[in-house]
Every structure is written in C-alpha cells, then in structure tokens.
Amino acid sequence: MIKVVKIGGNVVDNPEALARFVKAFAAMEGPKILVHGGGKEATRLSGALGIETKMIEGRRVTDRQTLDVVTEVYAGLINKRIVAMLQAEGCNAIGLSGADANMIKATRRNPEPIDYGFVGDIDPKEVNTEVLKALLESGLTPVFCAITHDGKGTLLNCNADSVASAVARGASRIGETELIYCFEQPGVMLDIDNPDSLVATLTPKGFAELKEQGVVSKGMIPKLTNSFAAIAGGISSVIIQHADAIGTEKGTKLLPDD
Amino acid sequence: MIKVVKIGGNVVDNPEALARFVKAFAAMEGPKILVHGGGKEATRLSGALGIETKMIEGRRVTDRQTLDVVTEVYAGLINKRIVAMLQAEGCNAIGLSGADANMIKATRRNPEPIDYGFVGDIDPKEVNTEVLKALLESGLTPVFCAITHDGKGTLLNCNADSVASAVARGASRIGETELIYCFEQPGVMLDIDNPDSLVATLTPKGFAELKEQGVVSKGMIPKLTNSFAAIAGGISSVIIQHADAIGTEKGTKLLPDD
C-alpha cells in the first residue's frame, strides 16, 4: 500500500507539532509520499516586504511578487527544512515541486471571473507516474510542496489538498494507494466541541446526508468533496485524522458507497 | 562523458544571459548536471528584511535568519525558476539541495578562528553516487543549489564552486566526467583587457608559473586550485569558459601534468 500523507499549514507552523509528526511519519513502513501546505510564513514574509496579501475564498491571489515569495517559502524554506528533518530521522526524503522532473503539470486558472494570478489547477492525469514509481522503487520518499509549473517556464501556486489528491491518484496507477489528510481535528466531527462525536467511517451517501443536515463545517466540505473524487478516481481509501495520529488508524475513514 | 556545469551568480542575476544559457545547456547531448550559484537576490532579500549581510573573505556569514533567506532564495526561488526554464526547453531537470535524497552531506565549519555560522564544507566522498546514477539513468538532469545538510537536521550554506567540484568527483565514480565552470570571462587570461591573451590549456605546472608571475587574478586562484584538486581526484578535465560559450570547446582547458 502506497501512503500519501498531507499536512496542513498548522502543523508546518508549529515546530513541536512538526517534529512529532516528522518522527512518526519517518517510522511508517512501506512506500510513502508527503505533501505539505504552506503555513503563515509566506504571509509574514510578504508583510515584511510590504507586499499586500489578498485572499479570495481562502485562495491566495498570486501576483508576480507573491509568486516569488511562495516559491521561496514553500519550495525553499519549508520543503528543505522538512526534508532535512526527515533525513535526520533516517527517512530518505527528496523534496520536489511539480516542476522538478516534470512531476506535476498544472494549468493557469482562467482570469475570468476572478483573476487569481499565478494560480494553477491540476489535472490528476498530469502527474508523472513513471518518475514517481522510479523514486519509490529507489526507496526514496517524495516530499511535495504545492508549487507546480505549466511546462512553458512559469511556476504556479496550487492548493496543497489538490496536489495531495492528484499525487495519490497518480500513485494509484502504480499500486494500491491510501490518502491521509492530517489536520488539527481528530477527524470529521458531528459536534466540533465533542470528541465522542467523531465519525468513524463515511461514504458519499453519508456525506450528502451530513451536508443536508448542515453538520459538516464549511472548511471541511471541499476537503471531503476532493477526497470522494479521489476515491472515485481510483484511490482505495482516504483517512482524515489529527497530525498526532499519523501511523495509527484513528480518524475518519472515507469509503466508496458499497 | 558526464558533464557537470557550474554557473555563477552573474548569470543567475541577468535574465537574458540566464535564458541564453538555459537554452544552450538544454541542447547539450548526454548526461549532464547543473550547479548554480546564488547571485545578489539573497543580499537584496536580507536587506529588505533588515538583516545585515556580513561577508568575510568573500564568504557569507550565515546566522539562523540568513540561513532561512539563502534557503528561500537558492533552494526555492532560483532553483525552481531554473528548473521550470529547463523544462520549457525540453530538458527534464530535477532541482536538488544536498539534503534531498541525502545527495551531499556537509560538515559545519569549525567556529574557530572565524565563526561563519551555518556554513558547511563538503567531503567529496559524501556525494550520494548511487542516487545520482539512478537519476542520470532515468534521463533526468539534476540541478543543484549550494544548500546542503549535516544529516542531523540542519541545513548548511556551502560554496557553489565546491559543490560543483564535489558533485563532479562523485560523478567520476559513475563514468568519465568533465567539469565546466561558466563565468563572465572567456577563460583564464594573461591580460584581462586583451581577449587574445586567453590561455587555451593549463596544467598544474603552468598554473604554478602563472601564480609566481602574478598573472592570475586573485578571484581566479581558488577556482583553479579547486579545479586541479578535482582533476587529481579523478575528473578527466575542467573547462573554464564564458557562460555564452556553453556547449562549445571555447575557453581554458585544465589538464593534469603529463
């Protein structure tokens, strides 16, 4: 089983949480891939440089200067920091953007109706399965940031959840693949204040019902929609769990309708 | 023949020169590796962030904040920009720091007599020849920045000339290897103002004579010393040439004493 694990910015931003995660991830057996989000460092660096951070519906509007900043922070600082930490734990990590080895080609988003600038969308077919397979067979652990390219020389800022889902769909063409989203909650909760309300398993049908009841939080809906699309696209299962639960079965397991 | 090409900051800093270089490098046949210097962007970014840039004997003193900046600029912005440009020219480039796949392990320089901070020195034996070979055999073109790691979780800022020479010595354990230093001069010149004074070939004996005569410029001495050490270490030949001459035989060819 190939495991594709995504960690969000909240883990990246917290040195202790990141160190705990890295240790547990490094200890996981078998072929594995990490995808990391960006965290607040890009916003901090933009601020220090006097570049205004503009978000629309949770997505960063990426002009030329902002593209430089996110490339510096995501593909440089955070990616290499995580790789060095994994190496220290004995995990032979290799940091990658989508441009490296042409791993992920993206398409710049249509500037109509909203011009997000250098923001890309990924077609899961555009993941370079051949190189991914060769890296995994060499015993390497690919570590992806969410910077990709258009194949014509331009880097693009992508959504890390989408990178994780596309990479997992690419990996599923190599072998059975599980996608694991790590975040700051134990999983999908019926009541965010009640740890006992964790949903153990969820199918598309169950998800539709929860949405109707208004039980799933706004931020969770795109993650779950993405995840079920990944399952429909060939991934065996998706787990949504707390970053501290990595390596365990704790969390919410998403499964296809039977 | 494996070709290891090093470009300096002056090429990186000049968009037109870089585009010309990338086009010509991409067109070179056979297995090849690129090593790039940093350029002035790190100093600019440090300045904008109010971090003082301190150089001692041409080496950047690298405190924690400066390490973050050079990791952002060298491993992030410049490395990914060059990789995306090479991809657009049909060259399947993969950007790497020394931490990635544990390609290059370095040792933090002794803080006595001068504390350079997070600056590393490279033992050419610490180049991961096995992964390098696998990447080249997959048809990939490794693109190295001069950030490495100590294997214990700490990134280190290294000299790009030394990275090039160490990588070339590593490559020479795979097959015959040529090291090419590209810079802003046509090669080693007896008189820097006279293009006709280009030295076509140079041996260690000839270099010693030129040094005695005071003909070789100060900046050139470490580059040549490094190069002859690389030849002694197993590299077939070293060429020192203008970045615009890449892919040609123009320049100064360094050879062992016969």
Alpha-carbon gap: A197 to the closest alpha carbon of chain B (Å): 38
Decide if pLDDT at A203 tops 80: yes
Decide if pLDDT at A193 tops 90: no
Alpha-carbon gap: B241 to the closest alpha carbon of chain A (Å): 26
**What band does A106 get if pLDDT is binned at 50, 70 and 90?**
very high
Taking 70 as the pLDDT cut, the residues of chain B under it are none
* Mean pLDDT of the region A55-62: 84
* A71 CB burial (10 A radius; 0-12, 13-18, 19+): buried
Q: Does A154 touch chain B (CB under 8 A)?
A: yes
The CATH code of domain B2-254 reads: 3.40.1160.10
**pLDDT, position A226:** 85
**pLDDT, position A60:** 85
Q: Does A128 touch chain B (CB under 8 A)?
A: no
Alpha-carbon gap: B197 to the closest alpha carbon of chain A (Å): 38
pTM: 0.96
A127-141 core/surface letters (b: 16 or more CB in 10 A; e: else): bbbebbbbbbeeebb
More confident call, A27 vs A217: A27
Choose among A73, A79, A99: nearest Cβ to B83: A99
**Rounded to whole angstroms, what are the CA distances from A118 to A148, A159, B1, B156?**
10, 12, 39, 31
What is the C-alpha to C-alpha distance for residues A159 and A138, in angstroms, rounded to an integer?
28
Could you read off the pLDDT of A17-40 as tens digits, one per residue?
999 999 999 999 999 999 999 989
Alpha-carbon gap: B206 to the closest alpha carbon of chain A (Å): 42
CA proximity to B88, closest of A199, A150, A60: A150
Count of CB pairs separated by less than 8 Å, A with B: 122
**What band does A118 get if pLDDT is binned at 50, 70 and 90?**
very high
Q: Tokens 């950047």 — which residue?
A: B60
**pLDDT, position B151:** 97
**pLDDT, position B220:** 83
End-to-end Cα distance, chain B: 21
**What band does A2 get if pLDDT is binned at 50, 70 and 90?**
very high
Search chain B and give the residue with CA nearest A132: B138
Asked if the Cβ–Cβ distance from B72 to A74 is below 8 Å, we say: no
Alpha-carbon gap: A90 to the closest alpha carbon of chain B (Å): 9
| Residue among B83, B96, B97, B147 with most chain A CBs within 10 A, to mutate | B83
Asked if the Cβ–Cβ distance from B80 to A97 is below 8 Å, we say: yes
Asked if the Cβ–Cβ distance from A75 to B75 is below 8 Å, we say: yes
Alpha-carbon gap: A123 to the closest alpha carbon of chain B (Å): 18
Asked if the Cβ–Cβ distance from A83 to B100 is below 8 Å, we say: yes
Alpha-carbon gap: B48 to the closest alpha carbon of chain A (Å): 6
**pLDDT, position A127:** 96
Search chain B and give the residue with CA nearest A79: B76
Measured between beta carbons, the chain B residues lying within 8 angstroms of A88 are 151-153
| Residue among B77, B118, B133, B154 with most chain A CBs within 10 A, to mutate | B77
Q: Does B178 touch chain A (CB under 8 A)?
A: no
* Mean pLDDT of the region A41-49: 93
Is the bond leading into B195 cis (omega within 30 degrees of zero)?
A: no
Structure tokens at A224: 């779950």
Single-letter code of the amino acid located at A157: N
Could you read off the pLDDT of A128-182 as tens digits, one per residue?
999 999 999 999 999 999 999 999 999 999 999 999 999 999 999 999 999 999 9
Search chain A and give the residue with CA nearest B64: A77
Structure tokens at A36: 């990391």
Asked if the Cβ–Cβ distance from B138 to A151 is below 8 Å, we say: no
Asked if the Cβ–Cβ distance from B75 to A76 is below 8 Å, we say: yes
Q: Model ipTM?
A: 0.95
Q: Does A71 touch chain B (CB under 8 A)?
A: yes
Search chain B and give the residue with CA nearest A128: B92
Dihedral sign for Cα atoms in the order B16, B23, B245, B239: positive
CA proximity to A117, closest of A172, A74, A155: A155
**What band does A208 get if pLDDT is binned at 50, 70 and 90?**
very high
Measured between beta carbons, the chain B residues lying within 8 angstroms of A92 are 101-102
Asked if the Cβ–Cβ distance from A72 to B77 is below 8 Å, we say: yes
Measured between beta carbons, the chain A residues lying within 8 angstroms of B93 are 99-101
Sheet holding A252-254, edge to edge: A93-96, A141-144, A32-36, A2-7, A177-183, A237-242, A252-254, A201-202
CATH superfamily of A2-187+232-247: Acetylglutamate kinase-like (3.40.1160.10)
